[in-house]
Amino acid sequence: MRLSHSVLAMLSALVLALTACGASGESARTEDGRTLVRYQGWAGEVEPQELAEDLGYYQKIKLDWVGNTTSGPQDIQSVATGDIDVGEAFNGAVVKLNAAGAPITSVLSSYGADDGEYTGYFVLQDSPIHSARDLIGKKVGMNTLGAHHEFLVREWLAQQGLTSDEIKTVTLTVVPPVNTEQALREKQIDVAALNTIWRETATARGGIRPLFTDKALFGAFSYGTYVVRDDYLAENRDAVADYVQGTARAIRWTQVTPRDEVVTKFRDIIAKRHRNEDSRTIEYWRSSGIPAPGGVIAERELQTWIDWLVRNGELKDGQLTAEDLYTNEFNPYANGAYPEGSGPDGKALVRR
C-alpha cells in the first residue's frame, strides 16, 4: 500500500490554491494591540499554547480558537492555506508539505515519546504475531494515514529487514481511536496503534501486548512540530517570537511540575472554555511526551524523515535539508541556559 504520491499531489494542489488565493501574512489585532493568532485545538485536550495563555506567558499575542482539528496533516494544511496561523503535525507530514512547495517553517516541537508518553503497536496476548515478518499480509489499524503511525510502522518493518515488496503486503487501515481497541479484540485488525487514554484503558483491561513502541524504535524523540507560514513570520515576527517563548515555557512547566498539578490545571482550563467536551482524556495524561526542555527542535527529528523519504524514492537526495525547515531562534531554552529541574519563568537562569 503506497500513499505518498497521492498525498504529495494533494499537498501540491493545496500550495497552488494558496498561491491563487494570495493569503496575506497580516494578522488581526485586539483593541489593546495584541496580535490574534488563529489555531485549531483538540477536543478534550489542552494544547501547550492554551496552557501558556492561561499561565499568562504571552505579552504580545492573544489566541483565537477557530475550532478543533481532525488530524495533524489537516492542521498544517490549514496553515498552508491561510485558514489558521499556527498548526502542528508529525514531522514526516511537515517534510512532505515542504516538499510540495508550501512556504512553512517549524518553530517548536509539539509532541513525542519520553518515559511517560509513547505510542504502542499492540497485538492480542495470544496472537501468533511476534516479529515484523509475522506481519506480512496482516492489517494494522491507526487513526490516520500519511502521519506518525504510518511512518513508524513502515520504518519498523524496514529496520526489521522486510523488503519494499514485503512491506507493501501490510495493510494500513484507518480506525477511529475510540474503536481501535474493539477492532483489535474482535480481530478485525491484527495490530492496533494506541496512545494516551486509548493505550492506558486497553492495557488496564489486559489481554494485549506491545509488538513494538515508537520509544523503543528511536528512544526519547520529538515527533512533531508547530509550523507557521513564512509570510506570517515575516510580517508578524514579534508575534511569532512571543508565541514561541510563551509556548516553550508552558511545555517546560509541564516537564517540571508534578503530574497531579498539571492534570488539575488542564481540568480547570477545559471547564473554563465551555466547549461541551469530555475531559476524561486528561485523567490519563502522563507527560508532555517532549524530551527536550521547552520543546527545542533537534535537527535529526526532521532529517530522519527526509532520509526516510529519500530512501523510499519520494524525495530526491539533497532536495531538502532539515536546517532549512526549522528555527529555534525564538525559543528561550535553545541556548542550553536552563538546567534540568529549573523553573519555566526564567528566574532560575544559570549560565553554563
Q: Where are the beta strands (DSSP E) in 69-142?
A: 86-90, 104-113, 120-124, 139-142
Alpha helices in the chain, H assignment, sequence order? 4-21, 48-55, 72-80, 91-99, 148-159, 164-168, 177-185, 196-205, 214-218, 230-235, 237-256, 259-273, 300-311
Radius of gyration of the chain (CA): 20
Cell for 332? Answer: 528561550
Residue 285, pLDDT > 60, answer yes
Model pLDDT for residues 214-257, shown as the tens digit of each residue: 999 898 999 999 999 999 999 999 999 999 999 999 999 999 99
Confidence of residue 26 (pLDDT cuts 50, 70, 90): low
Residue by residue, DSSP assigns 212-228 as EEHHHHHSSEEEEEEEE
Confidence of residue 124 (pLDDT cuts 50, 70, 90): very high
Distances (CA, A) of 208 to 122, 170, 173, 205, 283: 6, 20, 19, 8, 22
Residue by residue, DSSP assigns 2-52 as --HHHHHHHHHHHHHHHHHHT------B-TTSPEEEEEEE-TT---HHHHH
pLDDT at 89 (0 to 100) = 94
Quick one: average pLDDT of 78-94? 95
pLDDT at 146 (0 to 100) = 79
Q: What percent of the chain has pLDDT over 90?
A: 77
C-alpha 248/C-alpha 329 separation (Å) is 12
Distance of CA 298 to the CA centre of its chain: 14
Residue 170, pLDDT > 70, answer yes
Residue in 304, 115, 339, 106 with CA at minimum distance from that of residue 216? 115
Confidence of residue 107 (pLDDT cuts 50, 70, 90): very high
Model pLDDT for residues 256-278, shown as the tens digit of each residue: 999 999 999 999 999 999 998 98
Quick one: average pLDDT of 20-41? 76
Q: How many residues can be counted in the chain?
A: 352
Confidence of residue 14 (pLDDT cuts 50, 70, 90): very low
C-alpha 250/C-alpha 51 separation (Å) is 6
C-alpha 7/C-alpha 99 separation (Å) is 11
Distances (CA, A) of 172 to 32, 38, 63, 67: 49, 33, 36, 28
Distance of CA 208 to the CA centre of its chain: 26
Residue partners of 88: CB distance under 8 A and separation at least 6: 72, 75, 76, 110, 111, 224, 225, 226, 227
- What type of residue is 99? A
pLDDT at 248 (0 to 100) = 98
pLDDT at 348 (0 to 100) = 39
Mean pLDDT rounded to a whole number for the chain? 88
Contact 100, 15 (CB under 8 A): yes
Residue 5, pLDDT > 70, answer no
For 324: left if phi > 0, alpha if psi spans -120 to 50, otherwise beta; the answer is alpha
pLDDT greater at residue 162 or residue 12: 162
